[in-house]
Structure 1
């Protein structure tokens, strides 16, 4: 059984979240808390496997609580509950920096309690199970890697895919790339509108490269990072020798929009063997089929390893399919990317 602790100052939301969790036969709600101080005390006593945590609460809010809880219980997954507003996005991104594992949006658009239950159930249960399963893995199976044909094409573009745990991992990679990194960088991070705008601003502050949210028609330039905006797929197209970003609200892929597969496929079509693909931590398998196209076109794929991933879903799917040329711990990724850019012959 997965033991869950629910933390929210709203009695209605505590009941809603508890009902959603208790509806799954694999999950037991072992307690509830009404604010951050109560959450810290009950986490110490109850030792849950997962915690849901509100952002705005009296006495001690979610930002302060998650920082203390992650210090005391570093392997406890904490899922933030946030509003889809600028204030909610900013607080949630800060909570992720403070140690939270993921977040779920509050069902503000629900028309009934039953509707709200369905919305939260669809978003929360997969995250709870994936995060707890990741923490319970003692030793990951040795990753499969392809034995690539020697690559003699200098990389022309870096495309990055990430989801759960991605904000922290992506921040680490982009902060450590050198200012001389001479490739355009395109990123798909599973994230809703408003959140991506705030996230791009945060990344721009920590990275020596210029980072911004992509706009339809943006010219893709070296040394610049374009982030897919929430609810839009980001793709690449080339016309008259100029590569541009295109945005669309086509069907969701892997239940996501933005999804990584459209970006990876289009990059492979535009740049061929010049694609350098990085798949970071994330739940699910988005990026798998896109990575397959990248490899088929002669590009190179690097994935984050299981030990440093919050959830080894996306990178694990690529690795287990034999599509990863390299499987690296997070601290080694930026130096390796920089080294690959300086090499003409790779492999």
Structure 2
């Protein structure tokens, strides 16, 4: 179901999606109110929901659509502004599965192609119909060695599709006493502007300092650093300090920031004293970095399939046997506390 007040935007989306095998557009609506009138009869699996609409906007319509069609996956779309970043994150916190950034100009052919590709990819992913490139690797399995040699000195977290909501829940469940003892570095696949707003949302939940990572800044306990959109965030050791290395290197797994970049740097700097968490996300970003962490003896915990919006990133790591634990989202914070006390909560 496509919900957008722009007839041109709806026509484009309908044309694109009608060309995709396995995707049927069952309804279209120009406002949230019209969508509510149609949703029960149309019975969609996915709703593509514009934020800026007259009469009833996307933020207002979202909870009513979720109530009217339990289990539907909502993909919000908006242009890249700070206001829309705020609204999109509110939508994600209230149950939307993910978001897609609209091009600011329909005359930008390259941006339109990128928008189409991301829209289709995410529709397939959140509907649970996307091809899983790791399926042939077999069922998930735990790491052969599950002993933890040392108490974590740094927590590194990676996420993508569905990640903002999962990350906010995870950080909100971590005790202040743990956050005060542990530096945290987060990579969430997001564009610029979004990451700054996301850091503000996390700060309100965590009760500790949260900010976008800045190149050359020392990581320290009690601070959560969020990788800025459009830039990689790694780590380097300078004497007794560990510094953030924020740079514009080439995308890794089509991602910048990339979880791989952070995880490989954490393995090099902290070795077995790093603790890695991989939350819901599409694709395989983080798998290469997880191999480095596992080789260094660092424990890796991944979110389980049942509680993930998309089990791409965590599933790839679990299927390769790199995960120390595969846990529902609400058991990951207790596991982190267990590692801090010298024993994992399996």
TM-score scaled by length of structure 1 = 0.94
Question: Cα offset for 1:60?
Answer: 1.0
Query: What is the match of residue 65 of structure 2?
Result: 69
1:126 corresponds in structure 2 to 121
User: Structure 2: how far apart are the matches of 1:70 and 1:243?
Assistant: 44
Instruction: Identify the residue that residue 228 of structure 1 maps to in structure 2.
Output: 227
* 1:203 to 1:305, Cα distance in 2 relative to 1, 3 A: same
Match runs of 1:255-334 below 5 Å: 255-334=254-333
Mapped partners of 2:223, 2:313: distance in 1? 25
Gaps of 5+ in 1: none
Query: Which among 90, 110, 120 is matched to residue 86 of structure 2?
Result: 90
The residue number in structure 1 matching 2:337 is 338
Match of 2:163 among 158, 161, 166: 166
Partner deviation per Cα, 1:61-109 (whole Å, 9 max, x = no partner): 1011111112232321111111110111011111111211111111114
In structure 2, do the counterparts of structure 1 residues 151 and 91 end up closer, same or farther at CA, with 3 Å as the change threshold? same
Q: Give, in whole Å, the separation in 1 of the partners of 2:17 and 2:170.
A: 34
The aligned residue for residue 57 of structure 1 is 53
Please show how residues 100-139 of structure 1 align to structure 2 within 5 Å: 100-112=96-108, 115=110, 117-133=112-128
Task: Tell me how far 1:19 sits from its aligned partner.
Answer: 1.5
| TM-score computed with the length of structure 2 as normaliser | 0.94
1:156 aligns to 2:156 (yes or no): no
The match for 2:10 is: 14
What does 1:191-230 align with in structure 2 at a 5 Å threshold? 191-230=190-229
Residues in 1 aligned to 2:11 and 2:20: alpha-carbon distance in whole angstroms: 15
| Distance in 1, Cα, partners of 2:45 & 2:196 | 32
Structure 2 residue runs of 5 or longer lacking an equivalent are: none
Instruction: Give the conservation status (yes or no) of the 8 Å contact 1:218–1:245.
Output: yes
* Correspondence for 1:183: 182
Provide closer, same or farther for how the CA distance between residues 142 and 70 of structure 1 changes in structure 2, counting only shifts above 3 A: farther
User: Matched residues in 2 for 1:345 and 1:106: separation?
Assistant: 42
Change (3 A) 1:61 1:147: same
Task: Note the alpha carbon deviations across 1:322-346, whole angstroms, 9 max, x for none.
Answer: 1111001011111110121011689
Partner of 1:37: 33
CA shift in 2, pair 1:306/1:346, >3 Å: closer
CA–CA distance in structure 2, aligned partners of residues 217 and 12 of structure 1:
46
1:142 & 1:115 partners in 2: Cα distance?
38
Q: Spell out, residue by residue over 1:274-319, the C-alpha distance to the aligned partner (whole angstroms, 9 max, x if none).
A: 0100000001111111111000001000000011101111101100
**In the TM superposition, what whole-angstrom CA distance separates every residue of 1:4-60 from its partner, at most 9, and x where no partner exists?**
x11000111111111221121221212210100111222111101211100011111
Distance of 2:130 and 2:95 partners within structure 1: 14
For the aligned residues, what is the CA RMSD? Answer: 2.0
Give the superposition deviation at 1:208. Answer: 2.8
SS in structure 1 at match of 2:147: coil
What secondary structure, in the 3-state scheme, does the structure 2 residue paired with 1:91 have? helix
Secondary structure in 2 matching 1:12: helix
Shift of residue 246, structure 1, vs aligned partner? 1.1
Structure 2 CA distance for aligned equivalents of residues 57 and 186 of structure 1 = 36
Task: Tell me the CA shift for residue 152 of structure 1.
Answer: 2.0
- Matched residue SS, 1:246: strand
